[in-house]
Copies of this chain bind each other. A is one copy, B any other.
Amino acid sequence: MTDWARMLARFRAQSEAALDARLPAADSVPTRLHAAIRYATLGGGKRIRPALVYATGELLGVATEPLDAAAAAVEMIHAYSLIHDDLPAMDDDDWRRGRATCHRAFDEATAILAGDALQVLAFESLAAAPVDAQARIAMVHVLARASGTQGMAGGQALDLGYIGQILSAAQVEQMHRYKTGALLEGSVMLAVVLAGLQGTDQAAALTRYARAMGFAFQIVDDLLDIEGDPTLLGKTIGADSARSKPTYPAAVGLDNARQKALALMIEADAALEAFGEAGQPLCWLGHYIVHRQS
């Protein structure tokens, strides 16, 4: 295992423990809801958002405990969005992270409520972080912006509204910035808040990194849905095209999309230059995001 793979495995184990500690016990009432929440959140996923929290936080010298609170929060938001996006009224997916989606394993009503409750748990995790109240409130603002109508939820609404349309590259980019980019950027920003560095040059550089990396992430997601390996991905491929969903490759072509992802990776690298060697983990995460097979 390379150093980088070891680092990612460490972040994964840490975010799993941080989530486990903050999710309600499966044997407490209401048990079925709690079981659904744990099923949809634990035991799978790349944990890229927590990895961004931890890697940024370690770069900026933040202690582990507050990073755990932030990492758990962003992954809870991500998990809730997957549960809701997979519902029949949305993307209607049966398969996620190599297992039945939450509404298939449980039922639709339970899946809706599990998503709703995970969103509460995410804000609660930030509100309980072991840092001063000012920093906790600043984190609540960052997470709200990342997940609301100008962020993740808004992006999903745009995505659904665009079905069947031919979009320009700029329109796809805006949709992706809302739908995926906002929460990836938010993950980096939570660590910046915990470091007390909002508004500094370092924060600006990390924002540039996060934006480039976030857009690259979604382009690669679109590409994997066309040419990825369903066994590695743990979900069906071809789903976007089957649903006439607008994607970046559909807007600019496969080759241009691949080129754009690589250009964004270079842009992300450049944004990290000011951090020197210390920026390597984030740099590596960017490369992982572009070159991943799942």
Seen from chain A, the residues whose Cβ lies within 8 Å of a Cβ on chain B are: 24, 29-30, 32-34, 37, 80, 84, 87, 89-90, 107-110, 112-113, 115-117, 119-121, 123-124, 126-128, 132-134, 136-137, 140-141, 144-145, 147-150, 153-154, 156-158, 160-161, 178
Closest CB in chain B relative to A236 CB, distance in Å: 19
Within 8 Å CB of A123, what residues of B? 123, 140, 144
Residues of B within 8 A of A24 (CB): 149-150
Given contacts A112-B112, A127-B141, contact A154 B117 (CB under 8 A): yes
A30 and B89 within 8 A (CB): no
Chain B hits for A136, CB < 8 A: 133, 137
Within 8 Å by CB of A84, from B32, B33, B112, B126, lies B112
The one of B109, B115, B148 that contacts A160, using a Cβ cutoff of 8 Å: B109
Chain B residues with CB below 8 A from A157, complex form: 30, 32-33, 109-110, 113
Query: For the complex, what is the distance from the CA of A153 to the CA of B119, rounded to whole Å?
Result: 11
Which residue of the partner chain B has the closest CB to A136? Answer: B137
Q: Does B117 lie within 8 Å of A119, measured CB to CB?
A: no
Residues of B within 8 A of A120 (CB): 119, 144, 147-149, 153
Instruction: Determine how close the nearest CB of chain B comes to the CB of A128; give it in whole angstroms.
Output: 8
Also in contact, A29 and B158, with CB within 8 A (given A120-B144, A148-B117): yes
In the complex the two chains form, what is the Cα distance from A29 to B149 in whole Å? 8
B112 and A161 contacting across the interface, CB-CB below 8 Å: no
Which residue of B89, B121, B126 is within 8 Å of A148 (Cβ)? Answer: B121
CB pair A109 B124 closer than 8 Å: no
Nearest chain-B residue to A110 (Cβ)?
Answer: B157
B112 near A124 with CB under 8 A, answer: no
In the bound complex, how far is the Cα of B132 from the Cα of A235, in angstroms? 46
Q: A84-B116, A116-B116, A127-B141 are in contact. List 15 more A-B contacts (CB 8 A).
A: A29-B154, A30-B157, A33-B157, A89-B112, A113-B153, A113-B156, A116-B153, A117-B154, A124-B140, A124-B144, A127-B144, A132-B133, A133-B134, A136-B137, A137-B137
